[in-house]
Structure 1
Amino acid sequence: MDQLIGSPAIARGLRDVEDRIGRLGGSSALPGINAGAGRIISAGGKRLRPALTLATALALGRTPNRRVVTAAACVELIHAGSLVHDDLMDGATERRGARTLNAELGDGKALVIGDFMLARAGLAAITAVSRPVAEVLAATVVELAEGQYLETTSLYDPDRTVEAALASIRGKTAALFRAGCLVAAICARATAEERAGMAAYGERFGLIFQILDDLLDLTAPSGLLGKPAGQDLRHGVYTLPLLLTRDAGATGSLGGKLTGEQVEEVIRELRTAGMVELTLEYCRGLAADAVAALPVLRHGEAAALLYGLPTAYLRQVGEIVGSTSVGCDLLE
């Protein structure tokens, strides 16, 4: 992931994206909304989604122009707005080491600021990019809502299936990664086949990203996460790493609210039962599928970054969670 963000061509594009995000997030007639949106926009994050959008355009032979930059900014603005809504639903008070908008301003103001960011992205897409791009992003917001809703229907359900978890994360996370790749392909005037391949790649990488994020929630120290470890488990969200391990024969005290000690005990059981390797192996398969979906790409550096991204991210997370066998052979 660092290679993608650190690419000189993408870094240049991201500076333009950052400026565009700031302008869009600060475009309300109400200073309070601008201030709240600005807090979220400036709160950190590596801008992976817009970087992936820029890399797709470059790999398809399109230098990021104003339309590509605006499309990438819209993708990130939708992501930022969805984070506000996620924090509201979770009652979270901290994200990335800072207080959430709902903790700082109250639920009502946080809600409308999140709504503003989603709506502003849609307006920019239709007025400054193109109708097809706006349609993709609007459909993606629908999928975000549906994916989040699906998650709420499985809270504290010890019988939640792997398929149910995948359906949720396809909507709430993978859809936006897919959208970033697809809108870039549209801006690059790619063929229908190229668009489909890039969309499939983006979705599969989005699945990997969320699954590994869920693994980190169960394994990484709180200081690295910027929030308490085991947060999903505390809230009754039984994520894919947990479900894969359960289906492999691990036991745990699931169903109903858990105390802090019970959460720690379940996490110990999962790690002992091989949760890390089971999850990484599952993601290796997704990574192979993602790379296989890529169309023929024209720009050498950007193409190499896209081919290498799933593997590199697997290795990065594997190092964090202490696995010694995270290498993949996707590129050999």
Structure 2
Amino acid sequence: MDELLRSPAIAQGLRKVEARIHRLSGSSVLPGINAGIGRIVGAGGKRLRPALTLATSLALGKQPDRRVITAAACVELIHTGSLVHDDLMDRAVERRGTRTLNADLGDGKALVIGDFMLAKAGLAAITSVSKPVAEVLAAVVVELAEGQYLETTDLFDERRTVDSAIRSITGKTAALFRASCLVGAVCAYASPEERARMAAYGEKFGLIFQVLDDLLDLTASAEQLGKPAGNDLRQGVYSLPLLLAGAEVTHLLGRDMTDAAVEEVLRRLRASDMVDATIDHCTGLAADALAALPVIHDGELAGLLYGLPSAYIEQVAGLARLTAAG
């Protein structure tokens, strides 16, 4: 992932995307909304989703012009707005080492700031990019809502299946990765087959990203995560890594788990084959992602996109194994 973000062409594009994000973020007539968005946008993040938009455009022969830059900024606004809503639903007080908007401003203001970001992304897409891109982004907001809703219906359900978990994370996470690649392909005037292939690649990588994020929630420390470890357990989200090792801890799961109970579940999971099983699952997704890629004539971009899934798996696998062993 770092190689993708360090690519000179993508890094240059991301600087323009960042400037565009800040212009869109400060466009409310209400200073309080602008200040709230400025806080969450300025809190950091790797900007991986807009980087995929830029990489897709470049890979399909289109230099990132104003339309591509704006489309990438809209993707990131949707992502950031959805994080505000996630924090609100989880009653989270910290993300990336800083206080959440709902913790500082209250639920109501956080809600409307998240809404503003989603709406602003849609407005910018339809007025400054194109109707097809706006349609892709509107559809993905629907999927984000549906995926998050599906997760809430499975909370604290010890009978949750792997298929149910995958369906939820496809909507709440992988769909936006798919859209990130698809809008880049649309802006590049790619063929229908190229659009479909890049969309499939983005979705498979998005699944890998979320599954590994869920794995780190069960293996990494609070300091590494920037939020409490085992937070999914406390919220009743029985993620795919947990389901792959469920027999080890199912009888310990439930509502109102004490900190000691959470620590015991984490200890047992880290001692199980959970990490290896999760990495194996992600390796299969990576193979599917690579099989989906269209022919890319630019050697550098081909290498970056082909190498991204396995490089990210190796990076997180090393961290997960190290922290689990410790």
| Alpha-carbon distance in structure 2 between the residues aligned to 1:70 and 1:111 | 24
User: Per the alignment, in what secondary structure is the counterpart of residue 287 of structure 2?
Assistant: helix
> Which deviates more, 289-298 or 253-262?
253-262
Structure 1 position 274 matched with structure 2 position 266: no
| Alpha-carbon distance in structure 1 between the residues aligned to 2:51 and 2:197 | 18
| Alpha-carbon distance in structure 1 between the residues aligned to 2:150 and 2:264 | 27
Residue pair 1:44, 1:96 contacting (<8 A) in 2 also: yes
2:248 corresponding residue in structure 1: 250
User: Per the alignment, in what secondary structure is the counterpart of residue 257 of structure 2?
Assistant: coil
User: Per the alignment, in what secondary structure is the counterpart of residue 322 of structure 1?
Assistant: helix
User: Per the alignment, in what secondary structure is the counterpart of residue 178 of structure 2?
Assistant: helix
| Alpha-carbon distance in structure 2 between the residues aligned to 1:273 and 1:229 | 17
Moved over 2 A (4+): 249-252
2:303 corresponding residue in structure 1: 304
Residue pair 2:234, 2:255 contacting (<8 A) in 1 also: no
2:264 corresponding residue in structure 1: 265
| Alpha-carbon distance in structure 2 between the residues aligned to 1:251 and 1:276 | 15
User: Per the alignment, in what secondary structure is the counterpart of residue 156 of structure 1?
Assistant: coil
Aligned length: 322
User: Which amino acid in 1 is paired with 2:310?
Assistant: T
| Alpha-carbon distance in structure 1 between the residues aligned to 2:322 and 2:194 | 35
**How many percent of aligned residue pairs carry the same amino acid?**
72
The CA deviation string for residues 254-300 of structure 1, in whole angstroms up to 9 with x for no partner, is 23221111111111111222110010000000000001100111222
User: Per the alignment, in what secondary structure is the counterpart of residue 113 of structure 1?
Assistant: helix
The CA deviation string for residues 70-109 of structure 1, in whole angstroms up to 9 with x for no partner, is 0000000000000000000000000000000001111111
Q: Over aligned residues, Cα RMSD in angstroms?
A: 1.0
User: Per the alignment, in what secondary structure is the counterpart of residue 245 of structure 2?
Assistant: helix
Larger fraction in helix:
2
2:286 corresponding residue in structure 1: 287
Residue pair 2:221, 2:229 contacting (<8 A) in 1 also: yes
Gaps of 5+ in 1: 325-332
User: Per the alignment, in what secondary structure is the counterpart of residue 248 of structure 2?
Assistant: coil
Residue 323 of structure 1 deviates from its aligned partner by 6.1
TM-score (norm 1): 0.96
The CA deviation string for residues 206-229 of structure 1, in whole angstroms up to 9 with x for no partner, is 000000000000001111100010
| Alpha-carbon distance in structure 2 between the residues aligned to 1:66 and 1:251 | 51
Matched ranges for 1:161-240 at <5 A: 161-240=161-240
| Alpha-carbon distance in structure 2 between the residues aligned to 1:251 and 1:20 | 46
| Alpha-carbon distance in structure 2 between the residues aligned to 1:19 and 1:288 | 35
1:317 corresponding residue in structure 2: 316
Residue pair 1:3, 1:305 contacting (<8 A) in 2 also: yes
| Alpha-carbon distance in structure 1 between the residues aligned to 2:88 and 2:109 | 11
| Alpha-carbon distance in structure 1 between the residues aligned to 2:263 and 2:178 | 34
| Alpha-carbon distance in structure 2 between the residues aligned to 1:303 and 1:43 | 31
The CA deviation string for residues 102-157 of structure 1, in whole angstroms up to 9 with x for no partner, is 01111111100000000000000000000000000000000000000000001111
TM-score (norm 2): 0.97
| Alpha-carbon distance in structure 2 between the residues aligned to 1:323 and 1:184 | 36
| Alpha-carbon distance in structure 1 between the residues aligned to 2:256 and 2:166 | 23
Q: Identify if the C-alpha distance between structure 1 residues 97 and 323 changes in structure 2 by more than 3 Å, giving closer, same or farther.
A: closer
